[in-house]
Structure 1
Amino acid sequence: MVGLMIKTSVEAIIFDWAGTTVDFGSRAPMGAFVKLFQSEGVEMTISQARIPMGINKWDHINALLNLPEIKSQWIRIHGRPHISADVDRLLEVFVPMNKVSIRECGQLIPGISELTKTLRERHIKIGSTTGYTKELLDILVPIAKEQGYEADVLSYSGDTPLGRPSAQMMHKCALQLGLDNPLSFIKVDDTLPGIEEGKAFGCWTVGVAVSGNVLGLSLEELNALPREESEYLKDSARGKMKEMQPDYVIDSVADLLPLVDKINRRLDLGEKPISL
């Protein structure tokens, strides 16, 4: 007797936070990192601060301290390379700074509240993974909820032994949701570690190019630019995101819904994500 084929469809979407669902331009962490290093006498640009974006904050600080241009300043000031205790201390200073910036940049990205309403109507679960710690999420989650966005499950920095780009936070979300087929998941993120996290889990990945870390401008800053310059920057951001090789690239979460339908059609045909 021929066995019945079980149809697979999208059952859950796991979103990142800054640059994906809130904080257009992913500005909150960047401003805090720049202020943190300025407090140590180290000059850092926003572009430098963005380089390790997507990993947990301890690793992010450590990666910044290993950048040659930052490392040389640190050694000049402190007379030695940094050690783990320095990262621990800097993280303690960073968290209160980031709390302030989260409150300043916690606005929802346009389209996310409408999107989540439609997803719930379709019985698609919503989860999140992030490089933010629980302490920072405790501030951000109520701010987002008040504006109309709430995830069903959360996994965050320190919630699992390994953070991004490992799949451990994705597995934690799947466990909490009671779902076990990665093909029924979509990971939406604006950073390379977040895209790699989805690939490691074996799910569909969608890279957010314009609203997130790659372009790095607030919506107001972007809209204030001349049209030609704005389009150039958007095209450049899309190109950089494509280099990260997600399954799909969109400008923002406002463009996600048609891809859910497209991925469902591909699942019907037995197709799989790039990572597989």
Structure 2
Amino acid sequence: MEYRYKRVYGGRVQLVVFDWAGTTVDFGCQAPVEAFVAGFRDKGVEVSVAAARIPMGMEKRDHIKAMAEFDEVAAAWKRVHGRAIGDRDIDILYDDFAGHLLNSIEAKSTLLNGVVEVAALLREDGVKIGASTGYFSDAAEIVVNKAGESGYKPDFAVCASDVEGGRPAPWMLYRVMEALQVYPPEAVINVGDTPVDMATGLNGGVWSVGIALTGNQMGVSEQELAALDPVEYKRRLGEARKSLYRAGAHYVIDTITEFPRVVAQINDCLARGERP
């Protein structure tokens, strides 16, 4: 007689992997958006901020390639250059983007309210903290160092250029799990502010939590947020939350300050034998 056994993890959350821009630093993901727009402008092509935001969370060359495939961007490029955009153009755009990003990223990467306090609460509960980003290593290092100066130091940080493929592949998540010796995936939460972040968590078999208000989907700076009338504020925040849920988020919160409540809810789910 043959039997099959189902093993169920009933422990607690052991690891949280936070994104950087829009999640823990850089309110509204301003640094990468401005760098993408400026890189295309260097080649005489105007692209919208909306187009620059759609692939956010991906490795940055992949992000530019995705932008180039949008109808509005492809048409604008062809009007200026008389031909379709090619791989060599993508390489040049990436180099331009990288230069713009490195010039602005430190000033833009201010730590968001509540990050230090939330990290302290997690560590008090024995939870390890990882960080991942679609940035390349030089840009990621700047962000890590500035965050450290402000009191936020993940136990391990990884960027897209450290792995074979960036988001939505789960390799950065797995690299953090390996480095911090945490398994199974059910014990891990991935936190980000884009649909690509949510897809990454799902692909990795971990819990996915979306950040709506401070992130790419809301897409405003703190100053722009303060200037929104209440109706527009509510509409935009509602759309941001919906976009993250549509991408598969298990939970969506407005800011990182709400995150400890979500960890408690996930711990309750795990105690009941539930999985992501």
Query: Given the alignment of the two structures, is residue 29 of structure 1 paired with residue 22 of structure 2, yes or no?
Result: no
Q: Is the 8 A contact 1:14 1:185 kept in 2?
A: yes
- 1:247-258 matched pairs, under 5 angstroms: 247-258=250-261
Q: Hey, what's the Cα distance between the residues in 1 that align with 2:255 and 2:219?
A: 13
* Counterpart pick for 2:205 among 197, 202, 207: 202
Q: Is the 8 A contact 2:45 2:76 kept in 1?
A: yes
Residue 161 of structure 2 is matched in structure 1 by 158
Q: Hey, what's the Cα distance between the residues in 1 that align with 2:86 and 2:23?
A: 32
Q: CA RMSD in A?
A: 1.6
Query: Given the alignment of the two structures, is residue 69 of structure 1 paired with residue 72 of structure 2, yes or no?
Result: yes
- 1:43-192 matched pairs, under 5 angstroms: 43-192=46-195
State, as a whole percentage, how many aligned pairs show the same letter: 38
Unpaired runs of 5+ residues, structure 2, are 1-6
**Could you report, residue by residue, the CA deviation over 1:9-60 in whole angstroms, capped at 9, with x for unpaired residues?**
1000001111001011111100111111111110111111101111000001
Number of aligned residue pairs: give it. Answer: 270
Structure 1 window deviating more from structure 2 (227-236 vs 166-175): it is: 227-236
Give the alignment's TM-score, normalised by structure 1. Answer: 0.93
**Could you report, residue by residue, the CA deviation over 1:168-223 in whole angstroms, capped at 9, with x for unpaired residues?**
11111100001121010000011111111111111111011111010111122212
In structure 2, give the amino acid aligned to 1:61: I
Structure 1 residue 130 displacement after superposition = 1.0
Q: Is the 8 A contact 2:13 2:263 kept in 1?
A: yes
Structure 1 residue 249 displacement after superposition = 0.6
Give the alignment's TM-score, normalised by structure 2. Answer: 0.93
In structure 2, give the amino acid aligned to 1:65: A
Q: Mark the CA change 1:84 to 1:6 in structure 2 (over 3 Å): closer, same or farther.
A: closer
Structure 1 residue 129 displacement after superposition = 1.5
Counterpart secondary structure, 1:211: coil
Q: Hey, what's the Cα distance between the residues in 2 that align with 1:217 and 1:6?
A: 39
In structure 1, give the amino acid aligned to 2:183: D
Q: Hey, what's the Cα distance between the residues in 1 that align with 2:202 and 2:8?
A: 25
Structure 1 residue 77 displacement after superposition = 2.5
Structure 1 window deviating more from structure 2 (255-264 vs 90-99): it is: 90-99
Q: Is the 8 A contact 1:8 1:183 kept in 2?
A: no
